[in-house]
Amino acid sequence: MKTAFPFHSRRWMCISKSQNNNRNKKAMNNNVFLFATALALAAPAVMAAEEEKKSPWETSAELGYVNTSGNTNTESLIFKFDTAYEIEKWKHQAHLEALNTKTDDVSTADRKLATAQSDYKFTPRDYFFGLVSYEDDRFSGFEYQAKLNLGYGRKVLVLEKHKLDAEIGPGYRNFKVDNASSSEDEYLARLAAKYKWLISDYS
Between strands 184-197 and 74-86, the pairing is: unpaired
Give the per-residue pLDDT at 160: 87
| Mean confidence (pLDDT) of the chain | 83
Residue at 18: amino acid letter: S
Selected residue with higher pLDDT from 2 and 56: 56
Residue 16 shares a structural domain with residue 72: no
* pLDDT class of 1 with cuts at 50, 70, 90: very low
What region, left, alpha or beta, does residue 170 occupy, with left being phi > 0 and alpha being psi -120 to 50 degrees?
Answer: beta
Residue 12 shares a structural domain with residue 99: no
CATH number at residue 145: 2.40.160.10
Model pLDDT for residues 148-187, shown as the tens digit of each residue: 999 999 999 999 899 999 999 999 999 999 999 999 999 9
Residue 27 shares a structural domain with residue 92: no
CA distance 14 to 10: 6
Model pLDDT for residues 117-126, shown as the tens digit of each residue: 999 999 999 9
**What length is written for the chain?**
203
Residue 38 shares a structural domain with residue 133: no
Give the per-residue pLDDT at 199: 85
Model pLDDT for residues 89-110, shown as the tens digit of each residue: 999 999 999 999 999 999 999 9
**Which residue range is the domain that position 33 belongs to?**
1-55
Residue 93 shares a structural domain with residue 22: no
Degrees to nearest 5, angle at CA 178 with 177 and 183: 35
Torsion of CA 132, 138, 142, 146, to 10 degrees: 10
Longest dimension (CA), the chain: 128
CA distance 83 to 94: 5
Among the listed residues 168, 173, 166, the one whose alpha carbon sits nearest the alpha carbon of residue 193: 166
Q: What percent of the chain has pLDDT over 70?
A: 72
Q: How many domains does the chain have?
A: 2
CA distance 82 to 63: 12
In terms of C-beta density within 10 A (0-12 exposed, 13-18 middle, 19 or more buried), how is residue 149 classed? buried
Is 202 domain-assigned? no
